[in-house]
A and B are shown apart, each in its own frame.
Chain A
Amino acid sequence: MTTETRPARAPLDPAGLRADFPILDQEVFGHPLVYLDSAASSQKPTAVIEAMDAYYRHDNANVHRGIYQLSERATAAYEGARAKVARLIGAPDPRTIIWTRNATEAINLVAYSWGRRIIGRGDVIVLTEMEHHANLVPWQILAQERDADLEFIPITDDGILRQDVFDVLLRLKPKLVAFTHVSNMLGTINPVEEMTRKAHEAGALVLVDGAQAVPHLPVDVEAIGCDFYVFSGHKALGPTGSGVLWGRRELLEAMPPFMGGGDMIREVHLRRSEWNELPWKFEAGTPDISAQIGLGVAADYLVELGMDRLRDHERELVGYALEVLPREVPGIELYGPADPDVRGGVVPFNIPGVHPHDVAQVLDRFGVAIRAGHHCAMPLHERLDLAATARASFQCYTTTDDIDALAAGLREVQRLFGAGA
């Protein structure tokens, strides 16, 4: 689906696209807003905002229940969004798209539903040193409960997974290998297809955390070959409260429900129930209907944009940032892979002598919004011996002007703190 050949298209026009994102048209402390925190949460195009608004104005009713027009329209929009998301990530069957609140909930769903059935004493789960807490803590909870073992693929100093160590860890015959597609702190794009193939050869299932991949590059779950793939809607131009678990159909069918309640059942008796079929088996209770409808519109927006073009755009931005920042901001420390080809639109950095919180606070006064802290990746910061970092991250609406504004703001930081040249 995502492999169809497209006619050659012009590169993305981020300056033009900004008109689709009304929030960007504002000033902060008298400066035009420069939003460089899309890895934390992306901004939303008008089409998404209007679709959610229209749902509440015209179609609002509970789904899968009412025998009347509103409910039928709500259900059609809600279920239609599954097909849109399936198209975005190359899933052949919309019934394998399970709605969750976010990537975190999707991973917890797998840890509870699949993990508690399969993982036992002494079983091995392989993770990596670069995981977001969302792809770490659920497995810690499971491992503690089941007396299972966690092993970690280490990284090199510039943030590349050590495939040689991965090969050794696979000899432990892990039941599951779970890793991020793109690192939220370093931007590293991991070789997910190769890692999935190796994990399968060793007999493990594979879960890929796509929270930083789906919004930024072409994703095809069939081509990757993984067993579970998760992402959050709010990082992918969609609303908060929308998220996705994709899983292989036979696995999802064999898994018990995550939560019990309405909508996930076919028959309920006082002492037993029968589960609904996919995907509703995993969707107990009234869902966040407007959020998933919004995510469907965001998926269409991304497909229309062209994920290959978006990836090219962000590769250029990373290359530009890695070239401009060291030149314009003497002394800046940059982390992560130096090669933009294996690097998503994420640039972590530090200004020596200035805490990242102070960097972010000063930048804010110039209208520049970045993230400062540990980015929900404390073990990775420990590994790199960093207390905290500042991070700029990109989206389709990010321009080289934004990076220039960041550089100018960082020079002000240095001037104020008397750091650098």
Chain B
Amino acid sequence: MDDLYRDYILEHYRRPHNFGVLEAPSASFEGANPLCGDRITMQLTVADGLVSEVGFTGRGCAISQASASLLTDEIKGKPVADVAGFAATDLLDLLGIEISPARLKCAMLSFDSLQHLLDETGIKPLTKESS
């Protein structure tokens, strides 16, 4: 059990960081996994070459919510180039748990939403892999 639902994962699920709506976001994106009912809306604000603010709302499983919490923590305040270079494998490293194939979509919901936001803000175009 402890290999998947570690304390910090559950903590991020119960009290997600950056949970909320931004006042004047540069971009918003609603991502969903209709098959499981995970749904998050992610927003970010770009200012002076930085991802100055980031937030998300929504609901879903512990993996999808903890993933969004960890991801938003990681990119907040970072230069856009760093955020553009953030890869899916980096998110899996952040999660630090073994994700089974069946749960990969849960873990990647926040990452996929971020790719749409980067596309919308002109920072990095969507590629097939991140659609």
- A residues apposed to B, CB below 8 Å: 354-358, 361-362, 365, 372-374, 378, 381, 387-388, 412, 416-418
Contacts and interface: CB of A to CB of B under 8 A. Distances in A.
Contacts of A355: 36-38, 59-62
Given A355-B61, A358-B62, A374 B37 contact: yes
Interface in B23-40: 34-39
A361 B59 contact: no
A357 B61 contact: yes
B1 A416 contact: yes
Nearest to A361: B4
12 contacts: A355-B36, A355-B38, A355-B61, A355-B62, A356-B37, A357-B103, A358-B62, A361-B4, A362-B5, A374-B37, A416-B5, A416-B10
Given A355-B59, A358-B5, A417-B14, 13 more contacts: A354-B62, A355-B62, A357-B61, A357-B106, A358-B62, A361-B4, A362-B1, A373-B36, A373-B37, A388-B36, A388-B37, A416-B10, A417-B10
B1 A365 contact: yes
Contacts of A358: 5, 61-63
B14 A418 contact: yes
B59 A387 contact: yes
B81 to A, nearest CB: 35
Contacts of A354: 62
A297 B2 CA distance: 44
Residue in B1, B14, B34 whose Cβ sees the most chain A Cβ within 10 Å: B1
Contacts of A374: 35, 37
Nearest to A372: B36
Residue in A361, A372, A412 whose Cβ sees the most chain B Cβ within 10 Å: A361
Interface of B: 1, 4-5, 10, 13-14, 34-39, 59-63, 103, 106
B106 A387 contact: no
B103 to A, nearest CB: 7
A378 B1 CA distance: 30
A387 B39 contact: yes
A376 to B, nearest CB: 10
Residue in B1, B13, B61 whose Cβ sees the most chain A Cβ within 10 Å: B61
A373 B103 CA distance: 12
Contacts of A357: 36, 61, 63, 103, 106
B2 to A, nearest CB: 10
A358 B106 CA distance: 11
A351 to B, nearest CB: 12
A365 B3 CA distance: 11
A417 B38 CA distance: 18
A362 B10 CA distance: 13
A147 B1 CA distance: 52
The 4 closest A-B pairs by CB, nearest first: A387-B37, A355-B61, A388-B37, A357-B61
B37 A361 contact: no
A356 B60 CA distance: 9
A416 B2 CA distance: 10
A378 B5 CA distance: 28
B47 to A, nearest CB: 34
Contacts of B38: 355
Contacts of A378: 34
A361 B39 contact: no
A340 B38 CA distance: 32
Contacts of B13: 417
A354 B1 CA distance: 15
A373 B5 contact: no
